[in-house]
Amino acid sequence: MLYHLFTYLDKTFDFPGAGMFNFISFRTGLAFILALILSTTFGRRIIDYLQKKQIGETIRELGLEGQMSKKGTPTMGGVIIIIAILVPTLLLAALNNLYIILMLITTIWMGLIGFLDDYIKVFRKNKEGLKGRFKIVGQVGLGLIVGLTMYLSPDIVIRENKEIKGETTRVEGVEYAKQDVKSTKTTIPFFKNNNLDYADAFQWAGDKAQTYGWILFVLVTIFIVTAVSNGANMTDGLDGLATGSSAIIGVILGILAYVSGNVNYAGYLNIMYLPGTGELLIYAGAFIGATIGFLWYNAFPAQVFMGDTGSLTLGGIIAVFALAIHKELLIPILCGVFFVENLSVMIQVGYFKYTKKRYGEGRRVFKMAPLHHHYQKPGNSGIQALIQRPLQAMPESKIVVRFWIVGIILAAVTIITLKIR
């Protein structure tokens, strides 16, 4: 809103200082600061309101150190994150940019799903929350909206990159196609020009290959939205873990959005040029500011939990953001913490069912799943699991910081892989 207002004032009246709003870096900085102020200042008021209404977390006894001390801690704090993202984005971003519109829809859509889940848990006293099938319907619905929009909209296009090689076959530069085109290509390391075309899987289909490629892309979109949002939800088990991990991921996504929308920087990383994605940096600034600001209250010992209102929203935002900038195949690296948390649960459940069927009793791989809880349990303490190390239980704060460090390493690897030839 302010962006459009100051753009009008600059063009019509040459209003002093209004031209600053033409710079993405300026608006990103403002979005970050505003989100930080909103999440820290108004966050306190929201927490007080949640405490007054006795909207607290019910704790299931899992035998974890310090677990019961969290009983009654306000939940549904994800509302703080959502407000701190939406307000700066609405004020400072170009609201006619389709990428921004998609991110706003994602934030509200996933926020509503998470809010319903928390509402049922807290007010209806149903620990199961929103039934799984309804969550999946919501996630699939968002995936369809995003996938079909990217397929049908003429505003979402790319300019393909092509390597320029010298006599020694060494890459000396990158050039781009002259025209914008609709494409099913996405960025992936180690492939030619760092691109992979979904349509290549259907070369046998001839003229219909591109159509089938878009169908595959929509299916991939649905899978990624569901997987990443659930992964963020699984990770939200320790104070500050999901929040800090999301902030780290947000920094890299913001960088990739900016360089993808700038033809010179895109050429340096040898990735496709995506006109209009630079505007997503404003959203990323708000996202990072909101998550860091929320850590003010969510870091150990937490004064508020984000609940599914926050975790499902964060996961959905990360998934759609990566899809919008054609970087979805980098998610297993960039969101490695979410991926491993999800994988640990699937391994634990799968192995338990297999051993129960074969031996008559279920056995475990980890002392507890998701993975972060594995480190909270001491080894060789009566829990029958294949992996007993570490033998001593680790403090919650140490586990969180180490997971953050792993997240930072994976974030750096995500960027570095694009330069590997």
Say how many C-beta atoms besides its own lie within 10 A of residue 311's C-beta: 29
In a domain, 49, yes or no: yes
pLDDT of residue 264: 84
Over residues 257-270, the mean pLDDT reads 87
pLDDT of residue 267: 81
Q: Answer yes or no: do 133 and 226 share one domain.
A: yes
Q: Answer yes or no: do 349 and 249 share one domain.
A: no
Over residues 384-401, the mean pLDDT reads 91
In a domain, 169, yes or no: no
pLDDT surpasses 90 at 322: yes
Cβ contact 67:238 at 8 Å: no
Structure tokens at 316: 């959905």
pLDDT surpasses 60 at 63: no
Over residues 12-17, the mean pLDDT reads 82
Q: Answer yes or no: do 409 and 307 share one domain.
A: yes
Q: How far is CA 93 from CA 99, 335, 347, in A?
A: 10, 26, 42
In a domain, 132, yes or no: yes
Q: Answer yes or no: do 108 and 237 share one domain.
A: yes
Q: Answer yes or no: do 262 and 326 share one domain.
A: yes
How confident is the model over 98-139, as pLDDT tens digits? 999 999 999 999 999 999 999 998 888 787 888 889 999 999
Q: Answer yes or no: do 283 and 367 share one domain.
A: no
402 closest CA partner among 238, 277, 179: 238
318 closest CA partner among 276, 275, 284: 284
Range of the domain at 89: 26-159+197-330+399-417
Mean pLDDT (the chain, rounded) = 89
Q: Answer yes or no: do 235 and 91 share one domain.
A: yes
Q: Answer yes or no: do 350 and 217 share one domain.
A: no
In a domain, 176, yes or no: no
SS3 392: coil
Over residues 299-322, the mean pLDDT reads 94
pLDDT of residue 319: 97
- DSSP-assigned beta bridge partners for residue 181: 158
Using CA atoms, how far apart are residues 281 and 255, in angstroms rounded to an integer? 7
Q: Answer yes or no: do 250 and 378 share one domain.
A: no
Structure tokens at 24: 């993405």
Residue type, 245: S
In a domain, 177, yes or no: no
In a domain, 17, yes or no: no
pLDDT of residue 116: 95
In a domain, 309, yes or no: yes
Q: Answer yes or no: do 214 and 263 share one domain.
A: yes
How confident is the model over 150-206, as pLDDT tens digits? 999 999 999 887 766 666 566 656 777 778 889 999 988 776 667 889 999 999 888
pLDDT surpasses 90 at 148: yes
pLDDT of residue 261: 92
Over residues 378-401, the mean pLDDT reads 89
Q: Answer yes or no: do 67 and 114 share one domain.
A: yes
In a domain, 202, yes or no: yes
Give residue 73's pLDDT band: very low, low, confident or very high (50, 70, 90): confident
- DSSP-assigned beta bridge partners for residue 195: 187
Write down the residue that tokens 């953050």 correspond to: 404
Give residue 375's pLDDT band: very low, low, confident or very high (50, 70, 90): very high
Structure tokens at 305: 């939990």
pLDDT surpasses 80 at 241: yes
Element (H, E) at 161: strand 161-165
Residues in CB range of 215: below 8 A, 6 or more apart: none
- DSSP-assigned beta bridge partners for residue 187: 195
What does the radius of gyration of the chain's CA atoms come to, in whole angstroms?
23
Over residues 3-19, the mean pLDDT reads 82
Q: Answer yes or no: do 240 and 376 share one domain.
A: no
Phi, psi of 355 (to 5 degrees): -70, -30
pLDDT of residue 180: 85
Q: Indicate the number of domains in the chain.
A: 2
Using CA atoms, how far apart are residues 67 and 63, in angstroms rounded to an integer? 7
pLDDT of residue 65: 59
SS3 212: helix
